[in-house]
Amino acid sequence: MGKELQTLDYVVFLIYFLIVAGYGYWIYQRKKNPNASAGDFFLAEGALTWWAIGASLIASNISAEQFVGMSGSGFAMGLAIASYEWMAALTLIVVAVFFMPGYIKNKIYTMPQFLEKRYSPLVATMMAVFWLLVYVFVNLTSILYLGAIAVSTISGFSFTACAWFLAIFAIIITLGGMKVIGYTDVIQVIILVLGGLATTYLALNLVADQNGMSGVMAGLGLLREQAPDHFHMIFDKSNEHYKDLPGLTVLFGAMWIANLNYWGCNQYITQRALGAKLETARSGLLFAAFLKLLMPIIVVLPGIAAYVLYQKGMFQEEMLQDGVLKSDKAYPVLLNLLGPGLKGLSFAALTAAIVASLAGKANSIATIFTLDIYKKYFNKEASEAKQVGIGRYVIVISMIIAILVAPQLKKLDQGFQFIQEFTGLISPGVVAIFLLGFFWKRATANAALAAALSCIPLGFLFKKFLGDIPFLDQMGYVFLILVVMMVIISLADPKSKNNPKAMEVDVEGFKTSQGFAIGALAVIGVLAALYIVFW
């Protein structure tokens, strides 16, 4: 198949665009409230159902960094990269049980708000600035970069044109507020799952065809037969990719820090559930956990299939960039093999994932800046309408910054690993501060401040002087150092014995409904089976 999209592909894509834009406008008009608060715009307070919360979590999470970046890592290292998805399913359950009760009971709407309530305004502001910098210059920029590469590879349009298109599409959705994002994300998830499965179906069938066989199951069997090294979930130290995924660390070590930071302490994610009732939020997170189990089929298997096909002589030129093998090209290269119509569907799926993530990230940036920076330090008397207006300006400005910075990331090999390593610099500090803040009454503001200030320098020191240690293990060591530091500083403060900022842990709040418990056990059972089979 040619690289260019055919007329039928454009028709399919246009239908997708009109459905999302039209549904978003309908939701905006239907739920528009002339007296809407800033909380309604940023959080959609009480407006999202459990299925909208779950779908929005996945639509915002699954983006180019998964479709392109994780498929690229699947090409390079295999199924082991799926640990980020499968362990996330378990993390979602932990967050639903232990984190959500504290957030919702204390009416926490932003992560800096939690830090201010539990520690101090200084800690809250410092972390708000950290988050804004990481969200804009790492997350938003990398999503746009990987997305523009994928869309450019498939469509033939320039990288710059694709970046502007994706950014403008995302802005249109984001300006409608969290309600529009949440409900349009339901459509985005349906599209990305259907389109993603179509690509996986093509890839597995192609593997089978190249070996004189037919059928998806035959293709899957051939993958395991011809690339057995790509079907190990747990690497030993002899594996060349051990530094990326260091053995049991993915099950019992610092991957928990990465996941708890992302799913439990991350405005971008928790924002979807913070405006809901506890049971609704928990049901949404459980639904997202089930969807997470499905994701490696869509985002990892195509990368492994591309690897097998590449070893058999296919894509020898398409996988190169400036004469160097570029694993992140695996997914776009596969999409170019789809026939008219199906290619348009998969193109729409990829665009849906990218746009949903851009919209969610931009909304979180606007929320933190408006509620935790602007209103607190620039205009304490800002009206609700003024706050919404500032939020919309921030959305547009952050997108423009991402467009300008994105081309600088072209030297990356595995974009997904870049994102993990960069965000890993602050993850240990965030998780240490939140965990002790939630579950240890004596943790003080000075201790949290010391952890916040020490986190990034410690990360750089480990990277500079102990660079041979896997970055996930580095995160684990930094986390332990920060926890010990916070404990020592807190215990040295006599006021910590009767800490006025301590949060009351309501053990009753950890109890779940019977339906949630059954669903959680089902997720755990599936995960156990997957790791046993693919150990």
Q: What is the DSSP letter of 466?
A: S
Instruction: List the single range of 20-34, 115-129, 293-307 with lowest mean pLDDT.
Output: 20-34
CB atoms within 10 A of CB 186: 18
Report the Cα–Cα distance between both ends of the chain, in Å, rounded.
37
Which pLDDT score, from 0 to 100, does residue 416 have? Answer: 52
The secondary structure of 208-238 as a DSSP string is HHHTT--SHHHHHHHHHHH-GGGS-SS--TT
Sorted by where each begins, the domain ranges of the chain are: 7-21+49-423+505-533
pLDDT digits (tens, 9 = 90+) for 469-516: 888 888 899 999 999 999 999 999 888 888 888 877 778 878 889 999
pLDDT digits (tens, 9 = 90+) for 43-69: 555 567 888 888 878 877 776 667 777
CA of 426: how far to CAs of 36, 62, 257, 265, 456, in Å?
35, 21, 10, 11, 6
Name the 3-class secondary structure at 28. Answer: helix
Structure token digits, residue 373: 């920076």
Over residues 403-429, mean pLDDT? 71
| HSE of 303, CA atoms in CB hemisphere, 13 A | 31
Which of these, 432, 499, 509, lies nearest to 104 by C-alpha position?
509
CATH of 7-21+49-423+505-533 among 1.20.1730.10, 3.40.50.150, 2.30.30.90, 1.10.3720.10: 1.20.1730.10
pLDDT digits (tens, 9 = 90+) for 248-294: 888 888 889 989 998 888 877 777 777 778 899 899 999 999 999 98
Between CA 446 and CA 449 the distance in angstroms is: 5
pLDDT digits (tens, 9 = 90+) for 327-378: 877 887 887 777 788 778 777 877 877 887 888 888 889 888 998 898 888 8
**Alpha helices of 466-513 — where are they, by DSSP H?**
471-491
Which of these, 163, 148, 204, 210, lies nearest to 334 by C-alpha position?
204
Between CA 103 and CA 265 the distance in angstroms is: 10
Q: Confidence band (pLDDT; 50, 70, 90) for 517? A: very high
* 151 vs 517: which has the higher pLDDT: 517
Q: Whole-prediction pTM value?
A: 0.83
List strand residue ranges (DSSP E) for 51-164, in order. none
pLDDT digits (tens, 9 = 90+) for 161-188: 999 999 998 888 777 766 677 677 777 7
Average pLDDT, the chain: 83
Residues recorded for the chain: 535
Which residues have C-beta within 8 Å of that of residue 294, sequence separation ≥ 6?
Answer: 193
Structure token digits, residue 458: 């410690």
Q: Give me Rg for the CA atoms of the chain.
A: 23
Name the 3-class secondary structure at 324. Answer: strand
Looking at the chain, the whole-number percentage of residues with pLDDT higher than 70 is 90
Q: Confidence band (pLDDT; 50, 70, 90) for 1? A: very low
